[in-house]
Amino acid sequence: MTQYKAPVRDMRFVLNEVLDLDGHYQKLGLDEVNSELINAFLEEGAKFSENELAPLNRSGDEEGCQWNDGVVTTPKGFKEAYAKYVEGGWPAMGGHPEFGGQGLPGSAGIAISEMTGTANWSWSMYPGLSHGAVATIEEHGTPEQQSTYLPKLISGEWTGTMCLTEPHCGSDLGTLKTKAEPQADGSYKLYGTKIFISAGEHDMADNIVHIVLARLPGAPEGTKGISLFIVPKMMVNADGSLGARNPVKCGSIEHKMGIKASATCVMNFDGATGYLIGPENRGLNCMFTFMNFARLGTAIQGVAHAEAGFQGGLRYAKERLAMRALSGPKNPNGPADPIIVHPDVRRMLLTAKAFAEGGRAMVYWAAMMGDTVKLAKTEEERKEADELMAFITPIAKAFITEVGYEAANHGVQIYGGHGFIREWGMEQNVRDARISTLYEGTTGIQALDLLGRKVLQTQGAALRRFTKLMHKFCEANADNAELQEFIAPLVSLNKEWSDMTMAIGMKAMQNPENVSAAAVDYLMYSGYVVTGYLWAQMAKAAQDALAAGQGDDDFYKAKISTARFYFKRLLPRTASHKLAIEGGLECMMELDEAHFAF
């Protein structure tokens, strides 16, 4: 069975030495928030994740959640771990101080989310879904709604959900059917069924606050006629105490491939009382308050499974003896060599390591952009950060989860036949990882968002905003001889990316289906380039630390070696994605539907 060790040293490196957390907070005027404070959080978060959550990961998977007439019971130990999480004040980190929160920026807790998620992704989803509810009510709720729900959501006494998907509609919410009927007292009665609702019902908190999309009578068709509502599981009395049970009930829980300890619920709203949040028919606009952050939360899952695949694979590769190195014995006193000496095992380990550490840098950077969106002193700064975050978010969500799943599979492969056995924990990592490329929008949906909405609809402005950052970095380091192995490929890819985008745009003018045909390969290409840019920054930070004699030489040398591996063995994948894009639409569409037969 694998054991999780939080990569605190690497987290500090990314936050402090690559992304300059202190400078970031100073720019935002957050005088009381600094790297010293965040480092203290990292140490405590590591203890909680390693000691409380990781031991429940396998047992939770084997026991799963139990459903009985609408009541959901979580696996043994989950409820107790959540109580300790609340007692430690972890849910309150980002909440507004007016309602009992600590008022810390989103980036302050991003590494904690990664730790809890890697230790036990199923458990982490229960508090994780509350962030979206809190963000929505903070941004769009009335003062009364905020005072009613935020204090206990922020403290963690209550949890929250997002209720979007219905049996007949997933990402296409325009066909949503759940309806909301106005009542004389200003409330609404909601009728309908929502599916795939994570943490929709459980025994870990006294109340669950559902954020629900529904249609008002006479609302316009499609996405322009959707409103957003607060629907509590338990009604809340005027004094803040819990009242009667609201008629919203869990009809069943899904029997899933992975994340079995996370309750994925069918929720039935049978005249449940709800309260409009935000303007009528503007529910999707309000929902997008938390969608970028929810998608970043899923990107963290990709990092988590890559890290778990790497840690488990590394531990086994150092211990498992099999065959001799082709260049001669490396363990002459033993019956065979440890498999870590074999290049193919090294390839898999380094792939997982490169994706985990590169993904970590991307998600943390995006979280810091989220800070700027909320807290920057000028509208110009907020707008620029918002547009850059909008561009990066679909790449982070889809690319990191795709390569995180690949890394999880490498973890199984390193173990050979033992990887297929439950006791080692690696097959659970693969099963748990598989959902990450699906929810919060599949890879295909994210790819269309990136290429269609973020790039082509802005006439390439969103792409240019990012490629300008790459250009400035490359230009600033053009004379750094030690960095040229990273700078030269980035310069070339920066131009190729722009040229390729223009070519797709020209084809899209002839037939818009060309956008869909190119989208996933375009997103993956973009992901490899963005990760390459971040790896180049990490290599530079490591080189600077070595030159300054900061100590910890082995860590920095390993960072440069991993960057070199990424540039030589993973970044060249961009070439295959470019060729696939150039393969075009026609070969996909020439086969008549009737000939898709077996």
For residues 523 and 443, the answer to whether their CB atoms sit within 8 Å is yes
User: Which letter does DSSP use for residue 215 in this model?
Assistant: B
The number of CA neighbours under 13 Å toward the Cβ of 579 is 5
CA 27 to CA 36: how far, in whole Å? 17
Q: Which two tokens stand for residue 528?
A: 């490899």
- φ, ψ (nearest 5 deg) of residue 553: -55, -40
Helix runs in 49-183, H state only: 57-63, 78-87, 110-119, 121-128, 130-140, 143-155
Distance, in Å, from the CA atom of 311 to the CA atom of 432, rounded to the nearest integer, reads 16
Structure tokens at 438: 């699906």
- Catalytic positions: 440
DSSP secondary structure letters along 400-413 = HHHHHHHHHHHHHH
Take residue 52 and report the two structure tokens written for it.
Answer: 């409380």
The identity of residue 502, as a single letter, is M
334 residue type, one letter: G
CA angle 363, 523, 286 (to 5 degrees): 60
- The rounded distance, in Å, linking the Cα atoms of 128 and 134 is 11
Q: How many CB atoms lie within 10 A of CB 460?
A: 16
| Burial of 479: CB neighbours in 10 Å, binned 0-12, 13-18, 19+ | exposed
Give the residue among 319, 310, 342, 339 at the shortest CA–CA distance from 412.
310
Whole-number Cα distances in Å, 538 to 15, 302, 306, 421, 497: 11, 19, 18, 36, 22
Alpha helices (H) along 449-512: 461-476, 484-510
Residue 291, CA atoms < 13 Å, CB-side half-sphere? 17
CA–CA distance, 230 with 162 (Å, rounded to integer): 10
